[in-house]
Amino acid sequence: MGTQDPAAPDGPPPGRASSPGRPVGSGDGPGEPGSGPVETAAWRSPTMTGESHRVTSFEIFFDLVFVFAITRVGSFMARSLTATTLARGLILLLLLWWSWTAYVWLGNRVRTDQGLVRAGMLVVMAALFIAALVMPDAWSHHTGTVNAPLILAAAFILVRLVYFGLHLTAAAQDSRLRAQLLADAIPQTFSLAPLIAGAVLAGAWQTALWALAFTIDFGGGWIASRVGGWNVRSPGHFAERHRMVLIIVLGESLISAGTGAGDSVSRTTVLVAAALGFVAVVCLWRLYFEHLAAAAEDALEHASPARRARMARDAYTMVHFLLIVGVLYLALGAREVLTAVTGSVSNLGIPLDWPALTGLYAGTAVYLAGLAAFTRLTVQYVPRAQLAVGAGLLILLPVARHLSALSALTVVSVALIAVTAFERRVVAPKSDGDGGNTEAPEPKGADSV
Q: How far is it, in rounded angstroms, from Cα 47 to Cα 58?
A: 15
Q: How far is it, in rounded angstroms, from Cα 368 to Cα 327?
A: 10
Question: What is residue 238's predicted lDDT score, i.e. its pLDDT?
Answer: 96
Q: How far is it, in rounded angstroms, from Cα 34 to Cα 37?
A: 9
Burial of residue 432, with CB atoms counted within 10 A of its CB: 0-12 exposed, 13-18 middle, 19 or more buried: exposed
Bridge partners for 428 per DSSP: 442
Question: What is residue 439's predicted lDDT score, i.e. its pLDDT?
Answer: 43
pLDDT at 11 over 90: no
The predicted-structure confidence for 26-70, as pLDDT tens digits, reads as follows 444 444 444 455 556 556 678 888 888 999 999 999 999 999 999
The predicted-structure confidence for 202-239, as pLDDT tens digits, reads as follows 899 999 999 999 999 888 877 776 666 788 999 999 99
Residues 220 and 316 in one domain: no
Residues 413 and 342 in one domain: yes
pLDDT at 130 over 60: yes
Domain range for residue 430?
233-449
The residue count of the chain comes to 449
Residues 158 and 249 in one domain: no
Q: How far is it, in rounded angstroms, from Cα 364 to Cα 330?
A: 6
Question: What is residue 344's predicted lDDT score, i.e. its pLDDT?
Answer: 67
Residues 403 and 378 in one domain: yes
Residues 160 and 190 in one domain: yes
Among residues 64, 92, 98, the alpha carbon closest in space to that of 77 is found at 92
Q: Which of 168, 198, 230 is the last residue of a domain?
A: 230
- Is residue 20 situated within a structural domain? no
Number of domains in the chain: 2
- Is residue 159 situated within a structural domain? yes
Among residues 228, 200, 198, 224, the alpha carbon closest in space to that of 92 is found at 198
- Is residue 24 situated within a structural domain? no
Question: What is residue 431's predicted lDDT score, i.e. its pLDDT?
Answer: 42
In 312-432, DSSP assigns E strands to 381-382, 427-428
pLDDT at 72 over 80: yes
- Is residue 36 situated within a structural domain? no
Residues 424 and 399 in one domain: yes
Tell me, what amino acid is at 122? Answer: L
Q: Which of 230, 245, 274 is the last residue of a domain?
A: 230
* Half-sphere exposure at residue 82, Cβ-oriented, CA atoms within 13 angstroms: 4
CB 393 within 8 A of CB 403: no
> What DSSP line would sit under 160-182, residue for residue?
HHHHHHHHHHHTTT-HHHHHHHH
Q: How far is it, in rounded angstroms, from Cα 421 to Cα 22?
A: 33
Among residues 371, 98, 378, the alpha carbon closest in space to that of 235 is found at 378
Q: Which of 195, 230, 265 is the last residue of a domain?
A: 230
Residues 243 and 168 in one domain: no
Residues 333 and 404 in one domain: yes
Residues 301 and 401 in one domain: yes
Compute the average pLDDT of residues 88-97: 95
What per-residue string of b and e applies to 372-405 under the rule 16 or more CB within 10 Å gives b?
bbbbbbbbebbbebbbebbeebeebbeebeebbb
Q: Give, in order, the Cα–Cα distances in Å from 97 to each of 108, 128, 355, 419, 438.
A: 17, 12, 23, 28, 27
Q: How far is it, in rounded angstroms, from Cα 157 to Cα 179?
A: 21
Question: What is residue 220's predicted lDDT score, i.e. its pLDDT?
Answer: 80
The predicted-structure confidence for 344-387, as pLDDT tens digits, reads as follows 666 677 899 999 999 999 999 999 999 999 999 999 989 999 99
Angle (CA) 158-159-160 rounded to 5° is: 90
Phi, psi of 304 (to 5 degrees): -65, 160
Residues 256 and 169 in one domain: no
Q: Mean pLDDT over all residues of the chain?
A: 85
What per-residue string of b and e applies to 149-182 under the rule 16 or more CB within 10 Å gives b?
bebbbbbbbbbbebbbebbeebbeebeebbebbe
Residues 188 and 252 in one domain: no
- Is residue 245 situated within a structural domain? yes
- Is residue 172 situated within a structural domain? yes
The predicted-structure confidence for 371-428, as pLDDT tens digits, reads as follows 999 999 999 989 999 999 999 999 999 999 999 999 999 999 999 999 999 988 876 4
Among residues 54, 136, 425, the alpha carbon closest in space to that of 433 is found at 425
The predicted-structure confidence for 308-323, as pLDDT tens digits, reads as follows 988 999 999 999 999 9
370: domain CATH number is 1.20.1410
The predicted-structure confidence for 286-341, as pLDDT tens digits, reads as follows 999 998 999 999 999 999 988 998 899 999 999 999 999 999 999 999 999 999 88
CB 73 within 8 A of CB 148: no
Question: What is residue 219's predicted lDDT score, i.e. its pLDDT?
Answer: 82
The predicted-structure confidence for 142-171, as pLDDT tens digits, reads as follows 767 789 999 999 999 999 999 999 998 988
- Is residue 49 situated within a structural domain? no
* Half-sphere exposure at residue 17, Cβ-oriented, CA atoms within 13 angstroms: 14
Q: How far is it, in rounded angstroms, from Cα 435 to Cα 45?
A: 39
pLDDT at 125 over 70: yes
Compute the average pLDDT of residues 86-98: 95
pLDDT at 185 over 70: yes
Among residues 176, 439, 433, the alpha carbon closest in space to that of 301 is found at 439
Split at pLDDT 50, 70, 90, the class of 265 is confident
Q: How far is it, in rounded angstroms, from Cα 107 to Cα 92?
A: 23
3-state secondary structure of 310: helix
CB 56 within 8 A of CB 113: yes
Question: What is residue 298's predicted lDDT score, i.e. its pLDDT?
Answer: 95
- Is residue 31 situated within a structural domain? no
Residues 273 and 319 in one domain: yes
